[in-house]
Structure 1
């Protein structure tokens, strides 16, 4: 059974599970069958069933993790394709992203405080809406728990991918620009990936929302937390 702990075998299992999860959602059209969510659940079951430790699995997982940052940078391609349109709306976009950043940070830390969360947990939740590399760096800066932040970021992204467009439709937000920006701002890379599946225009604005919210969150989170008395 030693082959089960081989990092290349585990890497192949990861790709295989994700491929079939993606195929399942495409065949069924069920939003709740999100490929990332299904892949995470299936991999956890696999590791538990065969008693494989996370550290062993992560030896292969690091080969995938390496591509996370370049993948975020690659989101700039659809953004470039919509550059001329974006230039004409730059000020409203920046103001909306600034508002999204502030509301995102303030709402989660205030709710966490009211529900009795500890200081460390509150600080770890603050950068929940930005992509994992940025969120973890912000958490380290404010002395939160990076591993908790990473888990929360994944959950937020999955929730946004599953419910984001449905919520926007329910609230009668019909503009592709507003929908794309909202998905990128609230659900980072996972939401942007979902927006990409809709169309390049949605994906471009989601990329912009992800990027601007990441910058604003990295710059403003410590200041916001100090003003609220959490630092």
Structure 2
């Protein structure tokens, strides 16, 4: 069993297949909770455990997919550029919103970690949970965090954000597309941005912008908080 999984093609094929199944399930059910990424993660973990396949075997191909994460995030600049005039007209509230969003996110995590008595390594791992994975992992590693825990925290945050976004926007009656987009990007990074793009072009552009700005702010805040 182990021999045929000891190839990068196995990890790539399994990841693509699991996500494809997740997309099909979401389209079939129409349920927001059936997030393709969440379903894909569950399927991959379940298969590895059921067949006794070492994670290292899967990661040979899974790590190749990670190489596309940063370029995919950079591609969000296309949506931002399409709304550059809107950015110029609202640069101050956008900047303030991103700074406040990052501060609230990191401050709440720091407070909860202190409340529950988590050590410095766990705190550093969880603190950058609301920014995109490449930035979050770099911040965690720089302060003695555990990258694997950071990745899990980032993924769960993004999935929860994409699931709860429509509900929260209706609950708080957010009508401004700029405010909606910034809030999504500030708290649930690229996964949430995919949902923001479904809501509208402006929401997607502002959410993509928030990823970059909040990432920079998080790096700076981490130097003070950790």
User: Shorter-chain TM-score: what band?
Assistant: over 0.9
Offset of 1:95 from its aligned partner?
0.7
Residue 9 to residue 119, structure 1, CA distance change in 2 (3 Å): closer
- Which runs of no fewer than 5 residues in structure 1 stay unpaired? 226-230
Name the TM-score, length of structure 2 as normaliser. 0.94
Residue 207 to residue 115, structure 1, CA distance change in 2 (3 Å): same
Which residues in structure 2 correspond to 1:127-138 (within 5 Å)?
127-138=128-139
In the alignment, the residues of structure 2 paired with residue 146 and residue 178 of structure 1 have an alpha-carbon distance, to the nearest angstrom, of: 31
Give the match for residue 115 of structure 2. Answer: 114
- 1:214 aligned counterpart, secondary structure: helix
Offset of 1:28 from its aligned partner?
2.1
In the alignment, the residues of structure 2 paired with residue 168 and residue 83 of structure 1 have an alpha-carbon distance, to the nearest angstrom, of: 24
Contact 1:37 1:158 in 2 (8 A): yes
In the alignment, the residues of structure 2 paired with residue 165 and residue 115 of structure 1 have an alpha-carbon distance, to the nearest angstrom, of: 31
Which residues in structure 2 correspond to 1:47-196 (within 5 Å)?
47-196=48-197
In the alignment, the residues of structure 2 paired with residue 140 and residue 13 of structure 1 have an alpha-carbon distance, to the nearest angstrom, of: 28
Contact 2:5 2:57 in 1 (8 A): no
Contact 1:5 1:52 in 2 (8 A): no
In the alignment, the residues of structure 1 paired with residue 144 and residue 40 of structure 2 have an alpha-carbon distance, to the nearest angstrom, of: 31
Name the TM-score, length of structure 1 as normaliser. 0.93
In the TM superposition, structure 1's runs of 4+ consecutive aligned residues that sit over 3 Å from their partners are none
Work out the number of aligned pairs and report it: 225
Offset of 1:201 from its aligned partner?
1.9
- Which runs of no fewer than 5 residues in structure 2 stay unpaired? none
Cα RMSD between the aligned structures? 1.4
Offset of 1:167 from its aligned partner?
1.6
In the alignment, the residues of structure 2 paired with residue 29 and residue 208 of structure 1 have an alpha-carbon distance, to the nearest angstrom, of: 29
In the alignment, the residues of structure 2 paired with residue 222 and residue 146 of structure 1 have an alpha-carbon distance, to the nearest angstrom, of: 18
In the alignment, the residues of structure 2 paired with residue 169 and residue 5 of structure 1 have an alpha-carbon distance, to the nearest angstrom, of: 47
